[in-house]
């Protein structure tokens, strides 16, 4: 028999960003509990609003699945004597398991015959099991910040007002803090605050709709998007699409009602990014654009109630946003009175980090790094790179960025253009922050890419150099994101640069700040990059973990080259004859404990198979050298695969570890030469074969 499991936790308004992770945790926790306790169930459904977290799991078995428990006892020879009579060991085992000696079974194992008991264990009631775990289940829902309320010792994101918990139509009895579970829920806080009975998930969803609550987040999101777009059309425009804002507003309201507000056209003189940020950040409003894409002096706000006077509410919202826009306008005008060059000097008074110096010192360091990179990647960009890298952090001390930190780079570009800087310089000022989020766009220009890499590598090297290394739970300087950003920039342009040499230069500039030897810092950073690159290739590019490990094992100094090797190996593993080829390559590698670097003495090649292998090696070396030079690793692997027959014949016909030391060392030298070819692509020992 099965029933639906329904849980609703009613609260004060939960922050928007908390809701989805909390619902996902509820689903994961409960399904894991059911699975671990042998309770079959259907697919969970999650739903939530700012005032409720809902989990519904259909087809939950009302009791655990019965199971046969196998208990292994002492060996048979210890349990019975030579005449087949039970010993004290057998009697004690039977007594401990609550069975008669004659009920003991004999089980054949890898270690011999053992006494065994099979015991049927009936399933416990699902209701009893869930009731016991519910308080702990509620307490384990994770939030960035939790709070106490009243004199209670329990915590939650916000105070809990009700808990509705049902298995079928029966209430699951539990208590969390001062709240005991029931079959009661509540409607909209203002428009339908009275409690009502919960029967099941489907009827609950409809009952809430009649009480001004749209339970399904996807439905709320569509209502908001459609309503906002319709409201914008009413003033001759359309909503500026912003998925992040739409997701956030979806979790801020239970019954969305779109309203159009207006502000004075004078504020349209502000840069669009600034105006949009003011409207979005402070008020969670949607900007409106006209047919030509330019901003209109209107916005859409989403109310959580049906206003008695839409115009009055819209006017109130307009007053609030007008004050914010006036502040932004003031800062924007004041900022233009000071040139970026002067602001760049002001960075001398801004501490980047107590262990890493001022922001001005940081700029000087990564400006040198950017120069070093430009000289190697794009000498023609050097002038732009030097000017942009000097100015790119100057907007950090502007009024607008002080008020809206998310506009750093954007305002730097704006002010640079206003003071007459060339457009390429202004573009680099903006682009050097990219990518500024996971999966975000990378710099389009070479100059922007160079300064972005320089800035990021300085931060990474400096943090490692002063001991601020990311942990499993903390990465305050976003070093993982910055490392992945460098990897993406290098790969997508692509840039053939030496990561080791770049780190050497960065650590040379950081020398006065380092608290440990530069060589140690360099190795730690290289290992960190290798881990990020491995995760990127496995998680985002879909390569096999063993293939990536094999390719990266021989180094990542040239990131582009390392990825080309991984691609070639990934393709190579798809060959029908891959397994025997890989086995032959591994066989060569495994027999070489220490590389034999002495030259091959052809006079000591006594057996036809080793003579044939040497001839094949010479032909292969000649063929693959040009392929390696072009990083054509797929072609090189195809060529190396032709050695398989000669390698197999060699091992079938030749004893490598010959008693004659000169013969033995000569054969090892031959294999070392072959291994040297394979190892320029990857460590085949790390590739798994069927």
pLDDT digits (tens, 9 = 90+) for 572-631: 988 888 888 888 888 888 888 888 889 999 999 989 999 999 999 999 999 999 999 999
Domain regions of the chain by residue span:
2-64+125-210, 68-121, 217-335, 343-542, 562-686
Distance CA 670, CA 104 (A): 62
pLDDT at position 690 is 66
pLDDT of residue 685: 87
Cα–Cα distance for residue pair 24/29, rounded to 1 Å? 8
In contact, 46 and 21? CB cutoff 8 Å? no
Burial 304-326 (b: 16+ CB within 10 A, else e): bbeeeeeeebbeebbeebeebbe
β-pairing verdict for 160-167 and 2-11: antiparallel
**Can you tell me the distance from the alpha carbon of 157 to that of 11, in angstroms, rounded to the nearest whole number?**
9
Q: What is the CATH number of domain 343-542?
A: 1.10.3210
pTM of the entire predicted model: 0.82
Decide: 501 and 457 in contact? Cβ < 8 Å: no
Band of residue 193 on the pLDDT scale cut at 50, 70, 90: very high
227, 257 contact by CB (below 8 A): yes
Residues facing 57 on adjacent strands: 5
33-82 pLDDT tens trace: 999 999 999 999 999 999 999 999 999 999 999 888 889 999 998 999 88
Positive or negative CA dihedral for 539, 544, 550, 554? negative
**Pseudo-torsion of CA 410, 415, 416, 420, nearest 10°?**
150
**Cα angle for residues 423, 477, 344 (degrees, 5° grid):** 40
State the residue for tokens 């292998």.
Answer: 613
For the record, the structure tokens of 473 come out as: 């739970």
Q: May I ask the CATH architecture of the domain 2-64+125-210?
A: 2-Layer Sandwich (3.30)
Q: What is the CATH number of domain 562-686?
A: 1.10.730.10
119-175 pLDDT, tens digit per residue, is 887 788 999 999 999 999 999 999 999 999 988 889 999 999 999 999 999 999 999
Q: Are 398 and 336 in contact (CB under 8 A)?
A: no
Q: Which of 254, 351, 372 is nearest to 302 (CA)?
A: 254
Q: Is 687:545 a contact under the CB 8 Å cutoff?
A: no
Could you tell me if 116 and 130 are in contact, meaning their C-beta atoms sit under 8 angstroms apart?
A: no
Dihedral sign from CA coordinates of 379, 381, 386, 387: positive
């Amino acid at each position: 028999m099965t029933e639906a499991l329904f849980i609703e936790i009613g609260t004060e308004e939960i922050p928007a960003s908390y809701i989805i992770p909390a619902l996902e945790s509820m689903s994961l926790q409960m399904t894991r509990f059911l699975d671990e306790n042998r309770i079959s169930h259907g697919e969970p459904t999650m739903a939530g609003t700012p005032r409720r977290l809902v989990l519904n799991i259909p087809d939950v078995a009302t009791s655990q699945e019965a199971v046969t428990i196998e208990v292994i006892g002492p060996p048979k020879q210890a349990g019975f004597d030579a005449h087949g009579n039970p010993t004290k060991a057998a009697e004690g085992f039977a007594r401990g398991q609550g069975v008669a000696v004659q009920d003991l079974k004999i089980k054949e194992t890898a270690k011999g015959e053992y006494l065994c008991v099979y015991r049927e264990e009936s399933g416990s009631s699902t209701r009893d099991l869930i009731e016991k775990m519910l308080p702990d289940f509620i307490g384990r829902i994770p939030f960035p910040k939790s709070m106490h309320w009243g004199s209670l010792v329990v915590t939650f994101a916000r105070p809990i007002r009700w808990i509705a918990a049902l298995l079928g139509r029966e209430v699951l009895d539990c208590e969390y803090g001062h709240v005991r579970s029931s079959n009661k829920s509540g409607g909209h806080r203002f428009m339908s605050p009275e409690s009502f009975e919960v029967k099941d998930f489907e009827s609950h969803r409809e009952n809430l709709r009649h009480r001004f609550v749209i339970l399904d987040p996807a439905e709320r999101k569509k209502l908001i998007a459609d309503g906002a777009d319709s409201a914008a059309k009413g003033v001759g425009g359309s909503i500026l699409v912003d998925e992040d804002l739409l997701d956030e507003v979806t979790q801020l309201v239970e019954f969305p009602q779109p309203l159009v507000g207006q502000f004075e056209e004078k504020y349209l003189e502000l840069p669009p990014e600034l105006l949009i940020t003011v409207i979005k950040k402070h008020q969670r409003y949607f900007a409106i654009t006209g047919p030509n894409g330019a901003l209109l002096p209107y916005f859409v706000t989403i109310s959580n109630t049906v206003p008695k006077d839409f115009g009055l509410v819209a006017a109130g919202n307009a007053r609030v946003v007008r004050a914010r826009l006036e502040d932004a306008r003031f800062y924007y005008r004041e900022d233009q009175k000071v040139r970026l060059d002067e602001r760049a000097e002001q960075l001398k008074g801004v501490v980047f980090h107590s262990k890493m110096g001022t922001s001005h010192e940081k700029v000087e360091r990564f400006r040198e790094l950017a120069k070093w990179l430009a000289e190697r990647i794009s000498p023609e960009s050097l002038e732009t790179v030097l000017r942009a890298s000097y100015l790119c952090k100057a907007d950090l001390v502007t009024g607008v960025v002080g008020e809206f930190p998310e506009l750093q780079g954007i305002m730097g570009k704006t002010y640079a253009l206003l003071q007459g800087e060339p457009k390429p310089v202004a573009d680099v000022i903006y682009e050097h922050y990219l990518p500024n989020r996971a999966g975000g766009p990378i710099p389009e220009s070479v100059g922007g890419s160079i300064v972005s890499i320089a800035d990021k590598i300085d931060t990474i090297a400096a943090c490692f150099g002063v001991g601020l290394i990311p942990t499993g739970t903390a990465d305050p300087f976003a070093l993982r994101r910055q490392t992945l950003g460098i990897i993406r920039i290098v790969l997508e342009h692509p840039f053939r640069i030496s990561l080791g040499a770049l780190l050497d230069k960065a650590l040379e500039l950081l020398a006065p700040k380092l608290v440990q030897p530069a060589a140690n810092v360099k190795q730690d950073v290289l290992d960190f990059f290798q881990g990020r690159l491995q995760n990127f290739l496995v998680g985002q590019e879909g390569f096999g973990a063993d293939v990536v490990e094999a390719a990266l094992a021989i180094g990542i100094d040239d990131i582009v080259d390392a990825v080309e090797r991984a691609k070639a190996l990934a393709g190579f593993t798809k060959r029908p004859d891959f397994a025997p080829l890989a086995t032959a390559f591994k066989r060569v590698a495994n027999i070489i404990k220490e590389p034999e670097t002495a030259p091959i003495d052809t006079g000591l090649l006594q057996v036809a198979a080793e003579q044939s292998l040497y001839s094949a090696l010479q032909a292969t070396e000649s063929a693959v050298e040009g392929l390696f030079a072009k990083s054509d690793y797929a072609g090189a692997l195809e060529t190396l695969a032709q050695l398989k027959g000669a390698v197999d014949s060699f091992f079938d016909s030749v004893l490598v570890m010959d008693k004659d030391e000169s013969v033995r060392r000569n054969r090892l030298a031959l294999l070392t030469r072959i291994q040297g070819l394979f190892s320029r692509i990857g460590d085949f020992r790390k590739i798994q074969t069927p």
